[in-house]
Amino acid sequence: MIDALMPIYNRVDLSFEAGEGPYLVTDQGQRYLDFASGIATTNLGHAHPHLVKTLQEQAAKVWHVSNLWRIKDGERLAQRLVETTFADTVFFCNSGVEAFEAAIKLVRKYHDDNGQPQRHRVITVEGAFHGRSLNAISAAGGEKLVKGFAPLVDSFDHVGFNNTNELVNAITDETAAILVEPVQGDGGIRPADLEYLKALRRICDEHGLLLVFDEIQCGMGRTGKLFAHEWAGITPDVMMSAKGLGGGMPIGACLATEQAAKGMTAGTHGSTFGGNPLATAVGNAVLDVVLEPGFLDGVDRVARALWHRLQELAPAHPSVIQEVRGAGLMLGIRCHDQVANTDLGAALRQQGLLTVPAGDNIVRLLPPLVIDETHVRQAVEMIDAGCRQVAPAA
């Protein structure tokens, strides 16, 4: 008999009933250091006092009114994102994949308004992940994502990641945009080369394409900048955000320049729940913390500490750890082929550390941005013990 919950997840048999900062506690009283963060979503940890207070106050006032009326917290959150990014305008929705859908529609509308409706195809890269809608899995193109869901949406051309030659060769008269994650998450914690990101900007400018970044996982401070592309010193035309934007509250956003968004007029797109008072109040509370002077510097500092501790640890486990890679507090341990990432993840749970698997046999480390070096030491000790547990017999 099928479960009452549709069985589309391989859930671990743990149920959490409380959280505080970077820790989660199960209904059996087991305490875990949470280096999963709801897959890079609870960026400020659990039960952050400012977020809790904001949520409680807003919940006692008004949750939802629809986009028929002005929503002051939404206007304020949009204005703050505009002031702190490349963007001139923001559309709010409920999730990353909705932000993706908005971005793809915006790209098509831009070229249609320019009298070039034939420019509808988007170049995407191998190893990408943009969500689970039919459009999004077609954009990513990975076998595990698309198997059984054909026919796919025929609007995407796939090229190698970090490969500008292959990308330029894929441009045709129908190409409308290039879509890339500055740091791939689900695809195996693969950062784009900064020179590659700069080249994407030049290529888009030369060919009249829109540059779209997916910062759903790598944005909102996770790499030590508000958004990861800032490390390259360039800006996109369109960007998706979600996950850390709400600190656990479902909210997504599509950010764009005024020029890119010129076709998005009243009636072209929408969302019932997107940007409602509850979600945008919490989104503003997240920004209150992330934009505090010194907060992102602190993320960068603790991220470098974690990176160095992992680099020091790796040689002690040559049969388990093949490589440590990533950016900021978005790091991945690539396991050797004889060790499954899921086995190492299970061993780390036994040690009290929560992580997330990813493609390319990677164990993802996505701690909340509020960790300090005490938590780094705890995590590395657990990873050391977990590696000893799964190391193949000599």
3-state SS, residue 364 = strand
3-state SS, residue 365 = strand
The response to whether 132 counts as a known ligand-binding position is: yes
- Using CA atoms of 222, 223, 227, 233 in order, give the dihedral in degrees to the nearest 10: 180
314's tokens: 């790796």
335's tokens: 């396991």
The response to whether 129 counts as a known ligand-binding position is: yes
Q: Do 114 and 255 form a contact (C-beta atoms < 8 A)?
A: no
Pairing of β 330-335 and β 362-365: antiparallel
Sequence-ordered strand ranges (E) for the chain: 16-20, 23-26, 31-34, 89-93, 121-125, 156-159, 175-180, 183-184, 190-191, 210-214, 238-241, 252-256, 321-327, 330-335, 353-354, 356-358, 362-365
Residue 160 to residues 128, 153, 267, 308: CA-CA distances in angstroms? 10, 20, 36, 29
Q: Do 334 and 325 form a contact (C-beta atoms < 8 A)?
A: yes
CA distance 32 to 54: 26
The response to whether 202 counts as a known ligand-binding position is: no
CA distance 209 to 199: 13
The response to whether 184 counts as a known ligand-binding position is: no
Q: How many CA atoms lie within 13 A of 57 on its CB side?
A: 11
- Using CA atoms of 304, 306, 311, 313 in order, give the dihedral in degrees to the nearest 10: 160
- Residue 224, classified by CB atoms within 10 Å of its CB into exposed (0-12), middle (13-18) or buried (19+), is buried
Phi/psi at 213 (5° precision): -110, 135
The response to whether 118 counts as a known ligand-binding position is: no
The response to whether 271 counts as a known ligand-binding position is: yes
Which parts are annotated binding residues for pyridoxal 5'-phosphate?
129, 214-217, 272
Which parts are annotated binding residues for N(2)-acetyl-L-ornithine?
132, 271
Which parts are annotated binding residues?
129, 132, 214-217, 271-272
